[in-house]
Amino acid sequence: MGKGSDEGMELGGQVNGAKDPGSLTELEATHVPAIRAPARVAAGEPFEVVVTVGCGRLHPTEKGHFIQFIELYVGDVFLTSMYFVPERLVPVLKATLTLDAANGPLRAFIHCNLHGVWRAEKHVRVE
């Protein structure tokens, strides 16, 4: 997959996300990435980010339906990725990072082998 802007992440011309975060469809509930990170961090100080797949429901991890990878960005800058195999790995990415005041939002992309690319973002205030 391309590392950079949304255009590099598109598969089949579409990046999916929650249309109404307050009322997720069943498909969205198992595919939209969830980004856990503090709402505020000190500039240059390390903090942990955890990206999981699904909001309230776990995504399947079986041979015919699984998450192939999770990628984490800050703004358009690629930070890290993790690839998964079915039946053995639960799709969770954990990273410790630092931000400066000029960084954009944290953005996560996941790829489901059946349902394509999904994204979410979280704003973290850097003080």
Which residues does the chain have with pLDDT short of 50? 1-11
Please calculate the CA angle 31-74-60 and round it to the nearest 5 degrees.
15
Q: How many domains does the chain have?
A: 1
b/e string for 67-85 if b means 16 or more Cβ within 10 A?
A: bebbbbbbeeebbeebebe
- CATH number, domain at 26? 2.60.40.730
Instruction: Name the pTM for this structure.
Output: 0.85
18 found inside a domain: yes
74 found inside a domain: yes
30 found inside a domain: yes
1 found inside a domain: no
- Give the model confidence (pLDDT) of 5-23 as tens digits: 343 344 455 898 888 888 8
User: Which token pair is 90?
Assistant: 């639960």
Output DSSP code: residue 64.
T
